[in-house]
Amino acid sequence: MRLPRGVSGDDLCRALRSLGYEVTRQTGSHLRLTTKQHGEHHVTIPRHDPLRVGTLSAVIAEVARHHSLSREDLLQRLF
């Protein structure tokens, strides 16, 4: 599955809530999300609109690795 275009940082934060991520802090235009599912995991997301494709790809890869999902499976769950 191809990465969606035009996804903002806020859109990604809302999508990641389905995996148990919650905003734990904000510094400037960056949000730090944390989940306790499958062990504690932190990810930082810029609140840009839209996110750059490389940034989105890196966040998706990191979250997929933590939850032991393939990139395609994670994209289907989120979008």
In a domain, 18, yes or no: yes
In a domain, 48, yes or no: yes
Three-state secondary structure readout of the chain:
CCCCCCCCHHHHHHHHHHHCCEEEEEECCEEEEEECCCCCEEEEEECCCCCCHHHHHHHHHHHHHHCCCCHHHHHHHHC
Q: What is the pLDDT of residues 14-56, one digit of tens each?
A: 999 999 999 999 999 999 999 999 999 999 999 999 999 999 9
In a domain, 4, yes or no: no
Q: How many domains does the chain have?
A: 1
Look up the domain containing 70 and give its range. 9-78
In a domain, 44, yes or no: yes
What CATH number is given to the structural domain containing 24?
A: 3.30.920.30
pTM for the structure as a whole: 0.92
In a domain, 3, yes or no: no
In a domain, 20, yes or no: yes
In a domain, 1, yes or no: no
Has residue 1 got a pLDDT over 90? Answer: no
Q: What gap in Å lies between CA 73 and CA 27, rounded to an integer?
A: 30
Question: What is the C-alpha R_g of the chain?
Answer: 12
